[in-house]
Structure 1
């Protein structure tokens, strides 16, 4: 059985003379002949990367949820006011495949009716809503909720195909079943999960194990399981054959973290569908499913502020993490070592009028170095490295020598006390 522990990766910040640490021991003492000084890549200016801000953003309200379509040719955003926006990249001589690019401006797509996809809100206070949505595998349908009824939309026409599940309780997370798009998992604010058949308008079963609202759901088609996470810091693994709970585990509280910073827990499967990323405001961790063995756990530096979102890159080699101070950290997925930091002014407008930061981050489905951000000022941005760079930073020495598969060491971007 793999032991989980807090450890730290081999690196020295620019101008930083601290010793290199691995766990609680100095790596330099143990492997001095192999020690290599490695400098963290910092992206501080717009000239150091490709970045754009998509047109016609709803600048009066924050972006609550964001995703690429599975084709990688469009971005869908859900705002705090329950309205959706969809941007598509047009076909051109320089972009014949219409793929999402950070150096080519997309167009805000509108249906012939001119009516946007707008969720029911049940007259809830916007601050009390928990917006959520999910996209079908063929990019045809979106299920979405903003505190009121759940809506099923046709993404091509924006037509509402169905509405269901009037609150209370309100939906707080949604996920399509990997094998049947008529089945969706609905996480609710009363801590339960409903497995719902849209075609027959019926609840197949209800799952109960959490003590607080559901904040994450992730299916593994390989393992035939559903992993749920909640505001109780608990992870649960459910069989999708019998819908029985197989196991559960609580995220370990890192030193110095308050209960408030360990509230909502979000989850996402690695592309191998056996490793699971889990994150809260103050920590990220990687688990092995179905046993929920914690392989890696990291507490990023407090100077960055709270973690607002995290996601695997499409190839599973990196994890993008957005922070409250506006920075984006690019971490190695195998040990959670910080390999590149992208600061706010690298993607901010030329003359920012407000201090904004990303609330959500989405990874391109087949370009491992491109990601999109949804910000508190309503802006949506797309970022990727320059062609001359090719990727975000360089691997720390021990990462490069150990290979790129998900590993069993733990790390942070600063020593843990």
Structure 2
């Protein structure tokens, strides 16, 4: 299919169109926060290593440190007639009013990754969902496994270590194309259908800790464990630029850095143990940055950024 030649939008275009200032929502009352417990933990040594919502908003998927994935869904009820994790009223708001139920196919299968010969204490669990929630791929120090979300069956496995995968992302327009960040700092663009690595990207010095696609800007942003961001062209897979994130003096550079695009596909949220920052990815200009400098500061920032994270991932 021919790629649209429409000029990618910039943040200025979005601001002009919306005509509304983007403001943070501050949480000041503990009663505004709720806790949902998922009563399924029988193994005290197994922890939730990665957690994400389904794109449809009807479930939450957890990858355990033992390599097993479990799915919880919000079922229809009088309290939750839509059967979703969120309600539509002045935007999308996450709710914990209804406890989700663990879901499995009739076969009783579990989505279990291959961890043969893996030291689970050193493994870096990683997980990604396809845009239509049909497939989930994950790894826990071993091969990458592609699961069918309806049957929990393993469709295929690939990329056996070494090096081990450390971050996974589906191409947003083609479920057959995967971006796989590796422990050795490389990234592989892998085509599942033909079982082939189409491109191998090199530009980092430490393991890949985050990947995010923007089809609006035709870029892939990667982050690594040395606080560097790299921007790659989706068309050619060539590196456009490398951008260091600004760290407080004396802070270590070997900490995980995560990246996430806003729904406008232009604003980029960068998460690091020392800070949260927002960039205009069309120019890679930093728009806002909030440091976490102490435990007290962490609590204060958490109040401010709770609303930021909620609006950032759900605003249209």
Alignment partner, residue 57 of structure 1: 41
**Distance verdict in 2 for CA 1:291–1:135, change over 3 Å:** same
CA RMSD in angstroms comes to: 2.6
Alignment partner, residue 199 of structure 2: 205
**Distance verdict in 2 for CA 1:257–1:365, change over 3 Å:** closer
1:14-93 → structure 2 map (5 Å cutoff): 41-44=27-30, 47-58=31-42, 60=44, 61-93=46-78
Structure 1: which 4+ aligned runs deviate by more than 6 Å? 361-365
**Distance verdict in 2 for CA 1:107–1:48, change over 3 Å:** same
1:279 aligns to 2:271 (yes or no): yes
1:145-164 → structure 2 map (5 Å cutoff): 145-164=139-158
- Secondary structure of the 1:228 match is strand
1:221 aligns to 2:215 (yes or no): yes
Q: Deviations over 1:263-305 (max 9, x none)?
A: 2211111121111111211122222214322222221241158
Alignment partner, residue 81 of structure 2: 96
Question: Which residue of the other structure, out of 214, 230, 234, is the alignment partner of 1:236?
Answer: 230
Q: Deviations over 1:46-80 (max 9, x none)?
A: x5544321232355222111111111111100011
Take 2:311 and 2:53, find their aligned partners in 1: how far apart are those partners? 7
Take 1:172 and 1:238, find their aligned partners in 2: how far apart are those partners? 18
1:142-181 → structure 2 map (5 Å cutoff): 142-181=136-175
Structure 1: stretches of 5+ with no match in the other structure: 1-39, 306-322, 333-337, 341-360, 369-404, 406-417
Take 1:130 and 1:363, find their aligned partners in 2: how far apart are those partners? 28
TM-score (norm 1): 0.63
Take 1:81 and 1:143, find their aligned partners in 2: how far apart are those partners? 15
CA contact (8 A) 2:226 2:253 kept: no
**Distance verdict in 2 for CA 1:98–1:365, change over 3 Å:** farther
CA contact (8 A) 1:70 1:365 kept: no
1:329 aligns to 2:314 (yes or no): no
The structure with the largest alpha-carbon Rg is 1
Take 1:197 and 1:293, find their aligned partners in 2: how far apart are those partners? 32
Q: Deviations over 1:91-137 (max 9, x none)?
A: 22332321114111211112222221111124222221111111011
Structure 2: stretches of 5+ with no match in the other structure: 1-25, 86-94
Question: Which residue of the other structure, out of 248, 252, 263, is the alignment partner of 1:254?
Answer: 248
Structure 1 stretch displaced more, 230-239 or 210-219: 230-239
More RCO (CA 8 Å, sep 6+): 1
Alignment partner, residue 111 of structure 2: 117
- Secondary structure of the 1:52 match is coil
* Post-superposition offset of 1:232: 2.0
CA contact (8 A) 1:217 1:267 kept: yes
Alignment partner, residue 292 of structure 1: 284
1:128 aligns to 2:112 (yes or no): no
**Distance verdict in 2 for CA 1:187–1:123, change over 3 Å:** same
Take 2:182 and 2:74, find their aligned partners in 1: how far apart are those partners? 35
